[in-house]
């Protein structure tokens, strides 16, 4: 059985994780690209030898595990190094996401990916949902979440396609400027409507 794949994306700090969690709690099958990325770079992860070869020992801790903070600083300061990391990680992430989507036990599967459009993973999806808040709210959330100053928060946000652009491209937009529960309810309403539209009873 090939599942009907729904992409779920959004800018930094637009509430995508909250929506993903709500869908999972409702029994939906979700493949999360961030979780896949972490699995590829955890101890014994298949991306580690490639990262070591490209970036050297400076991005590894003494115990041999990846120093995520050091790697993050490196790629954030140098767009060329960010591209090099993307060249390693993106093909691995996309292949693993495809594999996990093919294992969906349900007729609908969600692919949650912050860089869905940037990586071309939207091509795997029949439709795309996007979480959205205006940029000034994004900046406040990143400052709070990451204990960052306003300049750094804006840099992080501007390192991706804008939340507004993503929302313009999506089939459905989930406005997440209200409470977490209201955002979750909106996502669950869309899920129920999708199942009804596809004549699926779970």
Tens digit of each residue's pLDDT (9 = 90 or more) over 6-17: 999 999 999 999
pLDDT at 1 > cutoff 70:
no
> 50-54, 83-87, 198-202: lowest mean pLDDT where?
198-202
Give the pLDDT band of residue 2 (cuts 50, 70, 90).
Answer: confident
Q: Is a pLDDT exceeding 80 seen at residue 76? A: no
Q: What DSSP designation does 14 have?
A: S
Domain 1-28+106-197 indexed as CATH 3.90.650.10:
no
Q: pTM of the entire structure?
A: 0.91
Residue 202 scores a pLDDT above 80: no
Question: Which pLDDT score, from 0 to 100, does residue 158 have?
Answer: 84
The Cα-based distances of 168 to 164, 174, 193 in angstroms read: 6, 12, 21
pLDDT exceeds 80 at position 64: yes
SS3 category, 66: strand
Residue 74 CA to residue 130 CA, distance in Å, equals 29
């Amino acid at each position: 059985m090939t599942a009907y794949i729904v992409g779920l994306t959004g800018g930094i700090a637009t509430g995508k994780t909250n929506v993903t969690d709500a869908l999972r709690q409702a029994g939906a099958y979700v493949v999360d690209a961030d979780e896949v990325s972490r699995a590829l770079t955890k101890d014994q992860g298949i991306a580690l030898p490639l990262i070591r070869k490209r970036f050297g020992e400076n991005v590894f801790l003494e115990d041999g595990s990846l120093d995520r903070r050091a790697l993050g600083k490196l790629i954030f300061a140098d767009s060329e190094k960010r591209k090099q990391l993307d060249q390693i990680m993106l093909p691995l992430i996309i292949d693993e996401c495809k594999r996990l989507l093919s294992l969906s036990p349900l007729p609908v599967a969600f692919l949650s990916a912050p860089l869905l459009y940037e990586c071309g993973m939207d091509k795997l999806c029949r439709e795309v949902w996007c979480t959205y808040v205006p940029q000034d709210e994004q900046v406040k959330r990143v400052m709070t979440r990451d204990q960052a100053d306003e300049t750094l928060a804006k840099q992080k946000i501007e390192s991706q396609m804008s939340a507004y652009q993503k929302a313009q491209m999506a089939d459905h937009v989930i406005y997440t400027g209200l409470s977490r529960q209201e955002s979750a309810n909106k996502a669950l309403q869309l899920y129920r409507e999708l199942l009804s539209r596809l004549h699926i009873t779970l």
